[in-house]
Amino acid sequence: MPPYLKAGDTIGITCPAGALPLTAIDDMCRQLSAWGFKTVIGKTVGTSFHKFSATDDERLQDLQSMLDDDSIQAVLFGRGGYGLVRIIDHIDFTSFQSKPKWLLGFSDITCLLSHVHSNYHIATIHGHMSGGYQPGQHDATSTQSIYDALTGKSAMYQLPQYAMNRPGHASGELVGGNLALLSDLIGTPSDIDTTHKILFIEDIGEYLYSVDRMMWQLKRAGKLTHLKALLVGGFTGSLDNDTPFGMTDNEIIFEKIKDYDYPVYFDVPVGHQPLNISLKIGAEYSIDQNTLTEIFPL
C-alpha cells in the first residue's frame, strides 16, 4: 500500500489518454482543496492533439514527471478515453516502485492500474476522475469514497439485490476494471492474474456482441475459472445491431459463469455512472452475503 494522504499533501492531475478542457477540473480541484490537499496541474490538462490530450511523448513525459516527483503524493487522472496503451511500455517505474504513491482513475486508466498491480504489486484506486466530477453529477457516496480511499478510511458497501445474483461469502485480493481493457491486455505484460481473486468488471458504449466476445475471451483465457467472486458493475449505454443480439449485458455475463459456484453480484455501483464507488485494486476485501468490506492489514 502506498502511504495514505494527510492534509497538506499534494495531488497531481494529468491526462495520459484523452483530452480534457482545463475548466473541467475546477470542481474537483475545489473539492480537493476543501479536503486540505494541494494540487499540481500537468501540462496535458487543457491541451489536445487529435484524439489525445497531447502527443505520445508529451503525455509520457507529463505522467513520468508526476511519478518521479517526491513532492507529489498521489496522481489523479483527468479522464480516460484512449491512449495509455501507446505509452505504457515506455514508463520508467523505478522511482515509483521505490516510493509508491496512489494512482486514481478508471476506464482507459485500467491499463496502467493493471500494469502496476501485475508487475509491482502496488495497490491503486479505481474511482472517479477529475473530469467526471461535474456540476449536477456530484454523488455524495462516490465523492466520500475518494477521500476515504486516499486517507485510509475503512470502506464498506452494500451490494444491490438482483435476480441473477448468487450471494455468498468470499474473501481475497480485488482486481479488475474496464472489461474492454482487461480483454485487450490478455497476453501482454499488463495482463492480470485472477486466480483466487475477487474480479470486478464494468464498461460503457459497447455493442452487446462485443460484450459477448470479450467475456468469451476472459473465459477461454481462464480468467473466470478460479475466482473467489465476480462483481459486475455498470454497463452503461450499451448498443445493439438492427438484428438484436437477444440477451442483455447481464445475461451475457451470467451465461459465461453459470457453471461456476463462486458468488456473483450484478449492478454493483462501479463504472461510468454518477454512483462510482472507489475500490482499491490489490487490496483485500471480504463479501458477507450483500456486504463488501475492505480488510485492513493488522
- Give the catalytic positions in this structure: 107, 202, 272
Q: 181: how many CB neighbours lie within 10 A of its CB? A: 25
- Please tell me the distance from the alpha carbon of residue 23 to that of residue 297, in angstroms, as a whole number: 39
For 205, the 3-state DSSP assignment is coil
Whole-angstrom distance, CA of residue 79 vs CA of residue 93: 21
Going from the C-alpha of 169 to that of each of 79, 229, 258, 266, 278, the distances in angstroms are 34, 9, 17, 15, 21
Q: Is-contact 217 249, C-beta < 8 A?
A: no
Q: Which of 77, 55, 57 is nearest to 66 (CA)?
A: 77
Q: How is residue 5 annotated by DSSP?
A: P
> If you write DSSP's letter for every residue of 219-271 in order, what string do you get?
HHTTTTTS-SEEEEEEEET-B--SS--SS-HHHHHHHHHTTS-S-EE-S-S-S
In Å, what is the CA distance from 128 to each residue of 36, 105, 143, 205? 19, 6, 8, 18
| Residues contacting 277, CB < 8 A, separation 6+ | 127, 141, 142, 145, 155, 157, 269, 270
Edge-to-edge strand order for the sheet containing 124-126?
Answer: 38-41, 10-14, 74-77, 102-105, 124-126, 279-281
The three grid cell numbers given for residue 184, joined into one nine-digit string: 485487450
